[in-house]
Structure 1
């Protein structure tokens, strides 16, 4: 057991973190739903400029309180322990970058295809409890509150527009499409209330009317985007190097050399391509990689048909990984040995994880949001995704942090999330499963390499487009743009074109996030090798299992904080 997992008495630093967390929970009904906390069930988050200003003010107060608490400890002759040192480092880094984003106007008016208020409001209803009549009464109130939440979002979009920060046209057009889809009769909200099959008739009628109110709010959002934002939308997809540098730091918790990282991404693609060719030759001598992938997709033994089959397969593979890895490569706490796999119809194409509640009464969940009409899935390509979202990926990473109540404050366990750390770990987990022998089947290994190739291509496209870098000669050279990015992706990524089109829209509208997977994995691997070198320099054998436990017990922190803590 590492120092981080031993019981300790909460400190003044922990108290500041807990106060910050409680205030965040008060401010965010969505966070309360995610954490399973009580609170006003009739409201949704405030997406207006005033809401952003309130969060910034909270960050400022918390940073000042951390300084005061540390100074008071010093005056008493008390030094922060190892846990406090990481909390101070992590909170100053995270809240500091959030304040920088606010000062730059980058925390309001965001619009993209996957992670903006347009999606967040809708997706909240995938997580709300629905077991009791009271739960459904609360949901009726939340559905009626969609109008207010989206009104605040419209305020932010106008403020960003008026400040010269209107979204790119591509994102506006896709946002209009998504808003109209959410507004459809029989769509997301109507399907949600249709699950209320055991409530009183009056409540059922109220839910139906509340769903109609939510749909109307999305009709109004679509009209607003078309009339007020689209005429001012920028034609360029690129956000520019200055904004990108800040956004990249927000997603990574460190600042990287963007030009060196771009060159590394291109080199990674070459490395992966060579290994894919070797695997393809092993599967079907004399056949190129794309032909082998096509044959695998057509192989009935590699296919799943229907959403029920997909969910069952995900659950089987996720459970098997937990059984196989517990006690060997990882210490898996008992509450984390349960994961629930979920499939959403008529979705966006995203695959994601939602954490357990604090008491694990709602387990961690792996979600596959399947686009309408997609009914066939290739297991060779997706097994590595199960490891990414499940164990040893997000489910172990996040679940283990939730478990260590005796050591970490709530902000460390459940609030702080850094994409480069979290997605970097999950991507590291994919490669680790190959190292541990779980992807020895050539088809599964080819799928893992395809996942690596997608992530490397993201680095090139994302940094290349948003920073205006020189594109490879394979796509005509010159400055990167969306057309070159599409040509590059279709040449390098073996993904269904409908999924790939969504992915490109995602990269173009969410600068800095997509590269955090590969960059994060790179930095995780560097941290592991630094720990190995340190152990060997001391004459000790490197213990991989102990390294994983120590690292995961820290919770999700910025990558600079991670490396300092592990050192």
Structure 2
């Protein structure tokens, strides 16, 4: 294995970037824990309008500090370009009121406050004391969020009623003593193992959990009594708001109409690929549904509870790391550890959380299993493990954390662009097919299932939010019902999970297309590198291309081509 590089000298640009991470962690403790930055485990984020303005001011001052600083090297060039893009968009979103009105079923403060506890250490008395302190901070954090929602509502900015109603249901579950994630946390196995029955912290935890549940009960009432009556029925956000969010999520400015047309073409291409494979699996004339039914009936491809799912995830992930390291990638020792877990929530989301800065908390793949889902088909999900794990999110994010010798803390920990990150993970799925890891026809059909979902999301998201002309299979126009039927026809998942996804796309404009659009731009970057090598009379080295790309960390896709060229 290549010996570690000598540490790169800290430049003035690095110093500005590192200072911004420190400031951001102080102003947003939830993000600090997510990034693995220590020191804020007993705090929660203030979501009030004043606090949002302070975070925007920190971004502005950082951008100002970057002005006039000379780059010491190519690393600084990329840092400057990436920070100007990302922080500039953060300021634009704040100025447009998007941060203080944020409310959806997946990526807004009500979910962030609950989910941050999943990332906290629970292996010592001190860790549980931190949990108790953070739980006690939930009421103030939720109240600050309510203040932002009321401020936004006063100026006429309220999320669509579909999102308000979805979060009411979520808040009511968190408030329910029997179903609450807070209840499961303080009465779970880790608390029992570390604290036992009679530890003084037990009463502190119970009191704090009770107050936290009460805060979510209050949130549910505010949403139902104050926001729901003001919330618009219309889900679509329109072109101006969509363009802003798309630039943020993708990390590049898209021609939205061209992207919509491409999405329709890409969906048709994947559908045709699936149809041909279905006949290979189930015989001439068989449909994709016929092939899926045949695969679902295969006992060798079935898992019957979450314990079996977790064990299969871990085994599949471990096998991928073992097979890829030293052949297609050079995976550093700390990055070889990936924990696969069943999430305490029940939304249907599958997600990844990165390691802490020192790797004491490893990267983790989480599967949030709905209450009504009790069996799992491995042919559908093998590609998901590659997406969330290796060579997908885990390899990309943990590799960036590992690049301490070269990258500043913002580049390693805080720089995240969905189009770059989710695009890489979707690119990684196709890559695994190219490398022969999805040669089994069932597993390959599962990969195409995921590709079809992501292509359909490009069409659905742009069509619904922008009111674009509907394709023939949708009907006369995009409506909530025709959009739902379009997703049902193109997405193969349990209805409860699809309902969650449908609501997610409508409440998080521009994010869902970033996967497939990002994959497109990653594939274009690889094609460019291959063509450049040929022009120089060289053989394209894909392993080297991936190593250089991963060493960059996450950058806006507008910055990626220049960064790879450097």
Give the TM interval when normalised to the shorter protein: over 0.9
Residue 235 of structure 2 corresponds to residue 223 of structure 1: no
Is the Cα–Cα contact under 8 Å of residues 418 and 558 in structure 1 kept in the other structure?
A: yes
1:256, 1:290 → 2: CA distance? 34
Instruction: State whether structure 2 residue 556 is matched by structure 1 residue 558.
Output: yes
Question: How far apart, in 2, do the equivalents of 1:69 and 1:261 lie?
Answer: 36
Q: CA deviation at 1:5?
A: 6.1
Q: Are 1:342 and 1:367, in contact at CA under 8 Å, matched by a contact in 2?
A: yes
Change (3 A) 1:544 1:147: same
Alpha-carbon separation, structure 2, partners of 1:468 and 1:165: 20
Question: How far did residue 91 of structure 1 move?
Answer: 0.4
For residues 170-249 of structure 1, what are the structure 2 equivalents within 5 Å?
A: 170-186=162-178, 187-195=180-188, 196-197=191-192, 198-199=194-195, 200-249=198-247
C-alpha deviation, 1:500, in angstroms = 0.8
Aligned equivalent of 2:351? 352
- Distance across 2 between alignment mates of 1:128 and 1:267: 44
Could you tell me how far apart the structure 1 residues matched to 2:475 and 2:6 are?
Answer: 57
List per-residue Cα deviations over 1:472-516 (Å, max 9, x = no partner): 1212122x2221111101111111111111110000000010000
Within-5 A mapping of 1:53-68: 53-68=53-68
Distance in 2, Cα, partners of 1:263 & 1:407 = 40
Distance 1:214 1:546 in 2: 49
Do the aligned partners of residues 95 and 345 (structure 1) sit closer, same or farther apart at CA in structure 2, a change above 3 Å counting? closer
Number of equivalent positions: 557
**Of residues 132, 144, 150 in structure 2, which corresponds to 1:140?**
132
Q: Which residue of 2 aligns with 1:447?
A: 446
The 1-side partners of 2:333 and 2:126 are apart by 31
Preserved CA contact (<8 Å) 1:240 1:467: yes
1:31 is matched with: 31
**Alignment check: 8 A CA contact 1:296 1:380 kept:** yes
Residue aligning to 1:124: 116
Contact 1:346–1:372 (CA under 8 A) maintained in structure 2: no
Which position in structure 2 is the counterpart of 1:495?
493
Per-residue deviation, 1:406: 0.8
Structure-2 separation of matches of 1:26 and 1:344: 27
> Secondary structure, in 3 states, of the residue corresponding to 2:91?
helix
Matched with 2:507 is 509
CA distance in structure 2 between the partners assigned to 1:122 and 1:346 by the alignment: 9
- The answer to whether the aligner puts 1:21 opposite 2:21 as a matched pair is yes
Cα distance in 1, alignment partners of residues 237 and 473 from structure 2: 24
Task: Tell me the alpha carbon deviations over residues 86-131 of structure 1, each in whole angstroms, 9 at most, x when there is no partner.
Answer: 0000000001111111111111121111111010001111111111
CA contact (8 A) 2:25 2:40 kept: no
- CA 1:274 to 1:127, structure 2 compared with 1: closer, same or farther past 3 Å? same
* Cα displacement (A) at 1:345: 4.5
| Counterpart Cα distance in 1 of 2:256 and 2:235 | 18
The structural deviation recorded for 1:39 is 2.6
Measured after TM superposition, the shift of residue 37 of structure 1 is: 3.5
Q: Say which SS state the counterpart of residue 560 (structure 1) adopts.
A: coil
Q: Deviations over 1:530-566 (max 9, x none)?
A: 0110110011110000000101101000001111111
CA displacement at 1:80 relative to structure 2: 3.1
Separation in structure 2 between the aligned mates of residue 5 and residue 116 of structure 1, nearest angstrom:
39
Moved more, 218-227 or 287-296: 287-296
> How many Å separate the matches in 2 of 1:30 and 1:247?
22
Query: Does 1:546 find its partner at 2:544?
Result: yes
Unaligned residue ranges in structure 2 (runs of 5+)? none
- 1:342/1:368 contact within 8 Å kept: yes
Which residue in 2 is equivalent to 1:365? 364
Aligned partners of 2:396, 2:5: CA distance in 1, in Å? 14
Structure 1, unaligned runs of 5 or more: 71-78
Q: CA deviation at 1:6?
A: 5.9
Question: TM-score, with normalisation over the residues of structure 2?
Answer: 0.96
User: Which residue is 1:269 aligned to?
Assistant: 267
Return the alpha-carbon distance in structure 2 between the equivalents of residues 17 and 103 of structure 1: 22
Give the whole-Å Cα distance in 2 for the aligned partners of 1:57 and 1:346. Answer: 34
**Alpha carbons 2:411, 2:553 under 8 Å: kept:** yes
Moved over 4 A (4+): none
C-alpha distance in 2, partners of 1:335/1:130? Answer: 21
Q: Is the 8 A contact 1:5 1:404 kept in 2?
A: no
Q: Deviation string for 1:197-247 (max 9, x for gaps)? A: 132432112211111111000000000000110010011000111000010
Give 1:297 deviation, angstroms: 1.8
Alignment correspondent of 1:400 = 399
**Structure 2 counterpart of 1:75:** none
